[in-house]
Amino acid sequence: MNQFYFSGMKTHNKSRREFMRKGLASSALISTGISNPLLAGNMATEIKVLNPRNRVPVSFIIDDSTALVNMAYYGIPQFKEVFPQQYLQDWKKLPKEIPDDFVREFRDWCGENGVKGKYSMVPYPACTGWLHRFIPGWSNSELSESLRLVRETMTDNWDIHPEMISHTRVINTKTGLPFPHATPEYMENWEWSQTKSADELTNYIAYALNVLKEAGFTCEGITTPGGFGGRNMENLAMGTLEAQKEVYQTEIPHFFRNLYTDPEMSVEPELFHVSGLGTDDPRCAVHIIGCTGDWFGGWDGLVPGNPDKFITPDLSSGRMVEVIEKEEPAIMVCHWPGIYYNGDKVGFNVLKTVVGRLHEKYDHLYWMTLSEIARYWAAKKLTNIEIEKKMIMLDAPFSTKEFTIHVSKKVKGAELVVGNSKTSLMRSNSALELKDSMYFSEKNESVMCFTLPKGKSQIVLL
């Protein structure tokens, strides 16, 4: 597990110097026993890989979003056909559309408050029509503008994912038509995916990705609808890896499948199918894990959320507090119909409250997209680190920005050496102000933050 405790988390105005004084005994080493005598006498230096910028990654996953279509309105009657006793919502009272004006309002607020994450674009939303062709009920110009809005104004802060193809019926990829059977075995949310091979899942995922590619999107990850692949994780991970490589040549594919609200379970990203280390073709798929339920507005926009489940008004508890204090990525999960909440914006208002409380309590959060988290964790887990005299030798299969390490030694300076190039790291005034190409040092501890290049590099301790 990747857990280490910042004593400075208790209130937002405590310095993380207090944390550094108490040490980093629970930090996760990149590999066991990375130490070598570098100090006088019998003391030794340990190298530990920390979170980026020595902060806590946070992110926001939005499911069931797409262009214009309200997935709840069109999805509920299809789910009801399969399980008539479970889907009793009066879906006809729901709006058919989640308008672009709301997308703009949401985008602008998130941009002003630093919120980043993942936004789904379901390629064939509830079988209504195709994002790369047309959707009946809306003009081609309306669809084009909706796609442009997301493609040109949201992708800096939001990863775009397909959520399989339709999020309802399984599609025959040979014909582009839904299978005619309204049973769990032919619904994306339930049984179809649980017995499919990696090759079959690759084909299905690639089909979804190709629709979004033709619609002008670049995707580095995918989201699973409902229970898709939940009992078939190895093949799901391989299908994600192979489909992303095939369609986009993605270096580090990632996928969102599980969320855990049990405080005993780690929500640290998981790596699947690691191969090719030490070659020109390193590979892995990163499983991003959410840490909350949808406590915003429900998947159908009919269940009012509760911000206190994320963080209480006194800022003392809640699921986000639990995860942040473990120093694991704290990734909230919602559904777009519940954020819009049929125009009442109940889920959106819950988000505003939660983000306000988080920013009031903490000053060391780091909002990241899922692809940024996936890249950092792949580098964190797979970079080989060795110590040779006063040089830290790094061999990274993947590059990442703001790679951050702790050294149990006070230093007067540090240099990043890549080939014949040297870059001096600037001294930071505090651990909290650490940024790329900087270091902070006091007593017998130092933290260094730098862009980790792919391949071999060194940190020279001065």
| Beta-bridge partners for 57 | 366
pLDDT at 13: 36
pLDDT recorded at residue 198:
98
| Strands 391-396 and 384-388, sheet pairing | antiparallel
Average pLDDT, the chain: 91
pLDDT score for 10 = 29
β pairing state of 455-461 and 414-418: antiparallel
DSSP 301-355: S-S---GGGTS-TTSS-SHHHHHHTTTS-EEEEEEHHHHHGGGT-HHHHHHHHHH
Structure tokens at 212: 């979004």
Residues 291-347 have pLDDT tens digits of: 999 999 999 999 999 999 999 999 999 999 999 999 999 999 999 999 999 999 999
Model pLDDT, residue 44: 64
> Looking at residue 432, what is its pLDDT?
87
Which of 332, 333, 335 lies closest to 300, judged by CA? 335
Note the pTM of the prediction, 2 decimals.
Answer: 0.92
Mean pLDDT in runs of 10 for the chain (462 residues)? 26 35 31 34 72 98 98 98 97 98 98 98 98 97 98 98 98 97 97 98 98 98 98 98 98 98 98 97 98 98 98 98 98 98 98 98 98 98 92 97 95 96 95 94 94 97 94
Provide the pLDDT for residue 279: 96
Tell me the C-alpha to C-alpha distance, in Å, between residue 224 and each of 188, 193, 249: 9, 10, 20
**Which pLDDT value is given to residue 278?**
94
The string of DSSP codes covering 178-218 is: E-S--SGGGBTTTTGGGG--HHHHHHHHHHHHHHHHHTT--
Specify the pLDDT at position 28: 29
Q: Which two tokens stand for residue 272?
A: 């699947």
Per-residue HEC secondary structure of 227-285 comes to CCCCCCHHHHHHHHHHHHHHHHCCCCCEEEEEECCCCCCCCCCEEEEEECCCCCCCEEE
**263's tokens:** 């405080």
Question: What pLDDT is recorded for position 389?
Answer: 82
Could you tell me which CATH number the domain at 56-363 has?
3.20.20
CB 441 within 8 A of CB 410: yes
Query: Hey, how many other C-beta atoms are within 10 angstroms of the C-beta on 273?
Result: 15
> Which pLDDT does position 194 carry in this prediction?
98
**Which regions of the chain carry the CATH code 3.20.20?**
56-363
